[in-house]
Every structure is written in C-alpha cells, then in structure tokens.
C-alpha cells in the first residue's frame, strides 16, 4: 500500500494536530509482522493520509468502499425484549467500553500527558453524574492496587497494558495516566 508514489505524495503532509506519515506508519515500521501496520494518530489522519488509509480499510473490510453506506441500524422493537434473565441465573453483568475519542483531541499516539488528564477528568465527571441503573464505579488506573487491577482483568473489565504494536505507535505513552 505504501508505494514510493504514495510515500512521496504523503511524506510532507501534516494533520491539524501535527501528525505525520511517520506517526501513521511507525508501528508497522517497527513490527514488520503487523497485520495492518498503521494507526491513525488523530481523526484528520483519515483525510490527510487517505491515499494510504482508504485502500487498507477497504481491503480489511472485504471491499467496503469509502463511498459505501452502512445500512441503518435496526434493533427491532427493543421494548419487546423484556427482562432477558428475570431469575438472575444467566446474566452476571454487562459492561460498556468507552474509547478515548473525544472531539478536539488527537488519538492516543499524539496525546500529551496533560490531555490524558483533561480527558480523564471530563469522562469521570460526566460518568459521576449518572444515576439509577446507569450509575457505576469509575476505576482510574493511576493509584490502583495490583489486587484490584488483577480482579478487574480476571472479570474482563480491564484490559492488559498495550501490546508491542500499540507501544510502537506511541499509544501507551504516559501509562497509566488518564486511563
């Protein structure tokens, strides 16, 4: 995908967050066995580096082109679902996983330590306002004991630290700040 022609076209481009082609391809450069080899350091990267991203995304998703439209969501009549486990025998818990993609911020590879802290504050303060059945517990990694961390990993609520592909893409900088 990264032919000399594409490289020459993209090598001097930068996103509004200052991300470069090197930021996009760094993980693949360091890990030649990577399945994809690129990471978007910010949302603008998909546009600025579209000549690289678009064909990879299309291939990865089996021919789904940039111009294709996702079908409208159809969950049916959600009110007809009722209580899926009225006796409480099967559903032990549910979870919602939130990714750090907030408007006005780059993605992990280009976040500063201060931005991680800002984002954690925004997310935790927003979540703390939830009430009733939406209320839960926010577990910041900073200051978390090893025992609590392992329990959350065992219960599939917490993911282990980033892998070498994410580390090479700078997605694990300032660990565990803001997570």
Cα(153)–Cα(147) distance, rounded to whole angstroms? 10
Q: Is-contact 50 36, C-beta < 8 A?
A: no
- Domain 76-167: give its CATH code: 3.30.590.10
114 pLDDT more than 90 = yes
How many CB atoms within 10 Å of residue 52?
A: 22
Q: Is the pTM of this model over 0.75?
A: no
> What is the average pLDDT score of the chain?
89
Annotated binding site for ATP: 93-97, 156
**Does CATH place domain 2-59 in 1.10.135.10?**
yes
Which single residue is written with the structure tokens 């993605």?
A: 107
Annotated binding site: 93-97, 156
Q: What confidence tens digit (pLDDT) does each residue in 122-154 have?
A: 999 999 999 998 898 888 888 899 999 889 888
- Mean pLDDT value across residues 69-87: 84
Domain residue ranges of the chain, discontinuous segments joined by + = 2-59, 76-167
pLDDT for residue 96 is more than 80: no
Instruction: Mean pLDDT check: name the lowest of 64-73, 154-163, 170-179.
Output: 154-163
For the segment 84-111, the average pLDDT, to the nearest whole number, is 83
Whether residue 30 has pLDDT greater than 90:
yes
* Rounded Cα gap, residues 105 and 54, in angstroms: 22
Name the band, by pLDDT with cuts 50, 70 and 90, for residue 171. Answer: confident
Q: For the residues 51-71, what does the mean pLDDT come to?
A: 92
């Amino acid at each position: 995908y990264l032919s000399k022609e594409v490289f020459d076209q993209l090598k001097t481009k930068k996103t509004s967050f200052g991300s470069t082609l090197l930021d996009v391809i760094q993980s693949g450069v360091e890990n030649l066995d990577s399945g994809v080899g690129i990471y978007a350091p910010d949302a603008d990267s998909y546009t600025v580096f579209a000549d690289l991203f678009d064909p990879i995304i299309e291939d990865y998703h089996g021919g789904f082109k940039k111009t294709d439209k996702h079908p409208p969501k159809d969950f049916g009549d959600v009110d007809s679902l009722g209580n899926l486990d009225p006796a409480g025998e099967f559903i032990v818990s549910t979870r919602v996983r939130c990714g750090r993609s907030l408007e006005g911020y780059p993605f992990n590879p280009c976040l500063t330590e201060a931005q991680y802290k800002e984002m954690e504050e925004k997310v935790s303060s927003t979540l703390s306002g939830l009430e009733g059945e939406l209320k839960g517990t926010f577990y910041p990694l900073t200051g978390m004991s090893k025992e609590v961390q392992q329990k959350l990993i065992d219960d599939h609520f917490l993911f282990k630290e980033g892998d070498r592909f994410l580390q090479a893409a700078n997605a694990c900088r300032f660990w565990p700040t803001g997570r």
